[in-house]
Structure 1
Amino acid sequence: MSVRRRLTRSKTRVNALCGGWILALGTVLVWWNLQAGYPTRAQVVAALMALGAVIYLADIVSTLYRNETGT
C-alpha cells in the first residue's frame, strides 16, 4: 500500500469521525434546546450542524476524487 493511499484513508477516516462528532453533538444540542423551550435556537443549531456535515462530506469526496485522479 502506497503512502499516498494510506494518507488518503487516514484523512478520510478523520473527516468521517469529525463529521460524526458534529452530528452527535449537534443532535444533543438540538434536543437540549427543544427541551429547554428554545425552538428557534434549536433550528439554528440544526442548520449549523447540517452545514458542518455537508462541509465534511464535501472534503471526503474531494479527497477521494483527488486520490483517484492523482492530482
Structure 2
Amino acid sequence: MRMILNSILNGPLVWPTIVEENGTTRTKKYEELSVAEKLQVDFDFKATNIVLQGLPPDVYAIANHHKVPKDI
C-alpha cells in the first residue's frame, strides 16, 4: 500500500537508461530492471488503475489519457 501511495504522491519511477557500446542511450527494458524497480513499476500501474476506477464515467473519459496517477 505504501508503494501505491508513493506512486500517487511522487509520480512514477523514472525508467533508468543504458549507454550502449556504440554510445547511444536507451531506456532499460522491463526485464533489465532490478527487482525493486520492477516492483515500483508494477505499483505505478496499480496506482493508476485504482485512481481511474474510482472516477465517475464522465470524469474517467477526461482523465483516461493521463498515464501518471499524480496528473489525474
**Category of TM-score, reference length = shorter chain:** 0.3 to 0.5
TM-score (norm 2): 0.40
TM-score (norm 1): 0.40
The higher relative CO (CA closer than 8 Å, separation ≥ 6) is in: 1
Give the structure with the larger helix fraction.
1
